[in-house]
Amino acid sequence: MDLRFPRAAFEPVTESMFKYELTGQPLFYLFAAFSFLLAAGYFWGKRQNKKIFLAAFRDIIDVIKPDDQRFVNIGGSIGYHANLFIKKKKAAISQVDATIVLLPRQSWLYLPVSKLIRHFDRLFITFYFKKKPLAEGHLIENRYNKMKRSSVANAEHLQKEALRWGTYDFLLYYDGEDIKNKLINLMDNNPDPGIIRHIAVVPEQKKGFLFMIPKKNQVAQYFTSVYYWLSSLV
């Protein structure tokens, strides 16, 4: 008995038997366009963040005119830190540290989530006094004060008043009339807080603090007044 099967029954399966072409499907073009947008957004976001941090640090340096400086990248395209050293004998402040944390503009997938959680770019500045300032005091924007980890740590031991600064509601915390009057004088001389959200003087640490929302061409304007005001406290 002849048990051989026809030759055609054992022909190998080849790609030519399947006429499905991925490149001819709408899904492919959608995927390609989406990938292109993500790639373009990555490079656009990196450039935008670089412009923001360079402009902010340049403004601070132009005001302080440090004798020495050091810069560190602390988070890829979203985090940078600067140490600015002031060696002039008559300077009231010996060092200024600036840390900027930016929204992840290079990641269009995560950017909306980050805006919901963090809301905005952040510029934290620390001032190191050579001498202990007169008393503790804070000016903090009311909505920022309600955010997690943004409230005044020593608030229960300080006096508090609600004030209107420009178009924003601020809280004034103070440990004595002298620092209260100096903070109010700062507000009077600068009727618009602009990008400022928190100013702090903490004698126990011999430090001053400033928190701003960095915006191009605005950091120098608001930083300058606070820097010279802090220098006048010691």
Q: What is the pLDDT of residue 77?
A: 86
pLDDT at 216: 85
Count of alpha carbons within 13 angstroms of residue 56, beta-carbon side? 27
- Which pLDDT score is estimated for 116? 77
pLDDT digits (tens, 9 = 90+) for 16-43: 544 455 555 777 666 666 565 666 667 7
pLDDT of residue 35: 67
Which residue numbers in the chain have pLDDT < 70? 1-24, 28-41, 108, 110-111, 114, 148-150
**What is the pLDDT, as a whole number, of residue 134?**
87
Query: For 118-136, how does the pLDDT look when each residue is reduced to its tens digit (9 = 90+)?
Result: 788 999 999 999 999 989 9
Note the Cα 148 to chain centre separation in Å: 16
Put simply, whether the predicted model's pTM sits higher than 0.85 gets the answer no
In 3-state terms, what secondary structure has residue 154? Answer: coil
CA-based angle 133:147:58, to the nearest 5?
A: 60
Task: Write down the pLDDT at residue 46.
Answer: 86
Closest CA to 97 of 186, 210, 229: 210
Q: What is the pLDDT of residue 153?
A: 84
Residue type present at position 148: K
Nearest Cα to Cα of residue 87 among 69, 71, 72, 99: 69
pLDDT score of 5? 46
